[in-house]
């Protein structure tokens, strides 16, 4: 994509940013109790989704070195509300003072938090499957302190929600990271088979034996390549094809999984006439398909370029603005076998604008990783490190959606040359 600058001032700023890309900036400050103004020792302070962080000392002080860029500072301390602070290194101050507030749980939440019955352990397994993921990396991950989770499917039997009383401690041996995850919320809709979660991950490099470093790096590369972070990063750079991505339009087709209205009416008549339970059961399952959407988004043969997807504002910011759903194919890697099991369960349950999604509709069996992306807002700002804002304004369905925390890589990750 050719970058067009609207005036000389913006062009100058752009080159200034390039010159500073390798510079280091110091973010430092203190964390205090907002009510007593006493310093808080051992608070975790980090840059969201990165390996940059620190623990406050007895004076509540911290300092973090970061490269040039836009960041979100996160402060987490047991018994206190999570605090976040967006900043840019171009306007960073010499020091900051952050005052955080105590966290209060409602009585009902406190009651649910204390439960450790069979239902809680069943919900824990469901949570891990939908939060850590079922990929090879996700299955190897381990939550070290599950007791901090508040798991609730009593308030709504069709929905499992999760909150956390403290930072989740996660070990990811395949990728060589310990993750401190500040879970802000998790929700799994059993009926629609849709899960979503929000939070702040902080990655800590584990001590890796020299004999394992090459294997760990290989696994990190595989986790990063084809991810949403990878795609957004190369979308920003304008070189999606060179990095192995192919972007296709979607087209609306009749949903072949749904019988015609005439076929459904015939099945209903047969159901009313037969008394054989096996036949009746089969007919009921057939008739239930009446609830499926009549149309579905399928993969088109027409390619999309970066210029179709991204627009540049006058201030130089880049935005994803393509309003229709589109497919992203990553051709450098095959799907993991476990994805097929997930994909089969999700068949025609995910819907966009009242139409189901046919991920493998045209290229089945698809050896490569396929995801459908849908912009749910008017525009989505994208950043050079692969992050984007606001996260809930981009809906993922398919391979990228299947990859969870177990395959998440920090935004500051750079592949070895």
CA distance linking residue 220 with residue 237, whole number of Å: 21
CA distance linking residue 333 with residue 339, whole number of Å: 13
pLDDT of residue 255: 74
pLDDT tens-digit series, residues 129-139 = 999 999 999 99
pLDDT of residue 327: 95
CB 102 within 8 A of CB 79: yes
pLDDT of residue 20: 40
Which range, 20-29, 105-114, 338-347, 384-393, has the best average confidence (pLDDT)?
384-393
Dihedral angle computed from the Cα positions of residues 354, 356, 361 and 365, in that order, rounded to the nearest 10 degrees: 160
pLDDT of residue 358: 52
pLDDT of residue 116: 73
pLDDT classification of 389: cutoffs 50, 70, 90? confident
Average confidence (pLDDT) over 313-333: 94
Q: Is the pLDDT of residue 31 over 60?
A: yes
Q: Which residue has the higher pLDDT, 20 or 101?
A: 101
Mean pLDDT value across the chain: 86
pLDDT of residue 365: 52
Q: Is the pLDDT of residue 333 over 50?
A: yes
Q: Which residue has the tokens 């986790």?
A: 223
CA distance linking residue 348 with residue 397, whole number of Å: 11
Average confidence (pLDDT) over 83-88: 95
Choose the weakest-confidence range: 319-328, 336-345, 406-415: 336-345
Helix (H), strand (E) at residue 318: strand 318-320
**Helices within 59-209 (DSSP H only):** 107-113, 118-131, 136-140
- 121-141 burial code (b ≥16 CB/10 A, e <16): eebbebbbbbbbbbbbbbeeb
Instruction: For residue 396, give the 3-state DSSP assignment.
Output: strand
CB 409 within 8 A of CB 227: yes
CB 140 within 8 A of CB 172: yes
With 0-12 / 13-18 / 19 or more C-beta atoms within 10 angstroms meaning exposed / middle / buried, residue 99 is: middle
pLDDT classification of 10: cutoffs 50, 70, 90? very low
Kindly report the pTM of this predicted structure. 0.80
Average confidence (pLDDT) over 101-119: 69
Average confidence (pLDDT) over 183-189: 94
pLDDT of residue 417: 53
pLDDT of residue 11: 30
Q: How far is CA 132 from CA 45, 110, 346, in A?
A: 23, 25, 18
What is the longest distance spanned by two Cα atoms in the chain? 81
Q: Is the pLDDT of residue 380 over 80?
A: yes
DSSP string, 126-168: HHHHHHT-SSHHHHH-EES-GGGEEEE-SS-TTEEEEEESS-E
pLDDT of residue 367: 76
pLDDT of residue 323: 92
Q: Is the pLDDT of residue 328 over 80?
A: yes
pLDDT of residue 22: 55
**Helices within 306-398 (DSSP H only):** 306-309, 337-345
pLDDT of residue 16: 33
pLDDT of residue 97: 98
Residue closest to 401 by CA, chosen among 358, 325, 348, 346: 346
CA distance linking residue 357 with residue 40, whole number of Å: 49
Task: Record the tokens describing residue 253, joined without a space.
Answer: 């087709």
Choose the weakest-confidence range: 213-217, 257-261, 382-386: 257-261
Q: Which residue has the higher pLDDT, 15 or 405?
A: 405
Instruction: Look up the CATH architecture of domain 8-100.
Output: Sandwich (2.60)
N-to-C CA span, the chain: 24
Q: Is the pLDDT of residue 14 over 80?
A: no
Which range, 3-7, 319-323, 336-340, has the best average confidence (pLDDT)?
319-323
Q: Is the pLDDT of residue 356 over 80?
A: no
pLDDT of residue 121: 93
CA distance linking residue 218 with residue 224, whole number of Å: 10
Task: Record the tokens describing residue 73, joined without a space.
Answer: 């500072």
pLDDT of residue 416: 66
Domain spans of the chain?
Answer: 8-100, 107-207, 211-255+297-417, 258-291
pLDDT of residue 103: 87
Average confidence (pLDDT) over 62-80: 95
pLDDT of residue 109: 55
Q: Which residue has the higher pLDDT, 308 or 416?
A: 308
Q: Is the pLDDT of residue 77 over 90?
A: yes
Q: Is the pLDDT of residue 391 over 50?
A: yes
pLDDT classification of 234: cutoffs 50, 70, 90? very high
**How would you classify residue 114: left for phi > 0, otherwise alpha for psi between -120 and 50, otherwise beta?**
alpha
């Amino acid at each position: 994509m050719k970058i067009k600058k609207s005036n000389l001032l913006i062009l100058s700023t752009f080159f200034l940013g390039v010159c500073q890309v390798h510079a280091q900036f110091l973010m430092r400050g203190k964390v205090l109790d907002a009510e007593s103004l006493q310093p808080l020792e051992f608070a975790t302070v980090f840059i969201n989704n990165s390996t940059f962080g620190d623990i406050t000392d007895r004076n509540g002080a911290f300092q973090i070195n970061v490269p040039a860029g836009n960041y979100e500072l996160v402060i987490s301390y047991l018994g206190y509300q999570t605090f976040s602070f967006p900043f840019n290194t171009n306007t960073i101050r010499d020091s900051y003072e952050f005052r955080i507030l105590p966290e209060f749980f409602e009585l009902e939440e406190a009651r649910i938090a204390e439960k450790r019955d069979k239902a809680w352990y069943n919900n824990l397994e469901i949570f891990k499957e939908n939060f850590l993921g079922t990929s090879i990396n996700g299955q190897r991950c381990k939550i070290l302190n599950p007791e901090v989770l508040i798991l609730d499917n009593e308030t709504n039997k069709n929905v499992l929600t999760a909150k956390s009383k403290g930072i989740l401690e996660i070990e990811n041996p395949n990728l060589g990271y310990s993750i401190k995850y500040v879970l802000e919320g998790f929700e799994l809709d059993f009926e629609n088979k849709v899960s979503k979660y929000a939070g702040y991950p902080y990655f800590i490099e584990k001590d890796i034996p020299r004999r394992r470093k090459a294997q760990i790096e290989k696994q990190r590369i595989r986790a990063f390549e084809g991810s949403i972070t990878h795609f957004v990063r190369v979308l920003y750079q304008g070189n999606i094809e060179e990095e192995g991505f192919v972007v296709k339009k979607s087209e609306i087709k009749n949903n072949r999984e749904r019988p015609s209205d005439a076929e459904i009416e015939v099945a209903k008549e047969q159901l009313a006439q037969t008394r054989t339970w096996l036949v009746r059961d089969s007919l009921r399952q057939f008739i239930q398909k009446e609830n499926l959407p009549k149309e579905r988004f399928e993969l088109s043969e027409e390619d999309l370029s970066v210029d179709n997807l991204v627009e540049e504002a006058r201030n130089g910011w880049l935005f994803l603005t393509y309003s229709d759903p589109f497919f992203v194919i990553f051709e450098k890697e095959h799907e993991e076998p476990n994805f097929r099991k997930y994909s089969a369960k999700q068949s025609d349950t995910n819907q966009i604008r009242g139409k189901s999604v046919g991920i493998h509709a045209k290229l089945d069996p698809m050896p490569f990783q396929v995801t459908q992306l849908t912009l749910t807002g008017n525009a989505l700002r994208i950043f050079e490190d692969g992050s984007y804002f606001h996260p809930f304004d981009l809906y993922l369905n398919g391979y990228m959606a299947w990859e969870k925390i177990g395959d998440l890589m920090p935004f500051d990750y750079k592949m070895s040359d």
